[in-house]
């Protein structure tokens, strides 16, 4: 079950990275998106969606 949760988290993280790339975000503070945690990616995506 732990492997399944890890795989799901990785899928969600990759989906967020793709969404951010589609918005034109490639790096944040000299860090590539793949270097960010899932929570950092989620926070960043929420900030981008705010008008």
Residue 31's beta-bridge partner residues?
A: 28
pTM recorded for the entire structure: 0.81
d(CA 15, CA 29): 21
d(CA 38, CA 16): 8
Q: What is the DSSP letter of 25?
A: -
Q: Which residue has the tokens 């960043």?
A: 44
Q: Where does the pLDDT of residue 49 fall: very low under 50, low under 70, confident under 90, or very high at 90 and above? A: confident
Mean pLDDT, the chain, whole residue set: 89
């Amino acid at each position: 079950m732990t492997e399944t949760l890890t795989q799901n988290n990785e899928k969600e993280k990759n989906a967020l990275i793709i969404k951010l790339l589609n918005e034109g975000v490639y790096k944040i503070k000299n860090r590539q998106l793949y270097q960010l945690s899932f929570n950092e990616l989620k926070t960043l995506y929420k900030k981008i969606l705010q008008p």
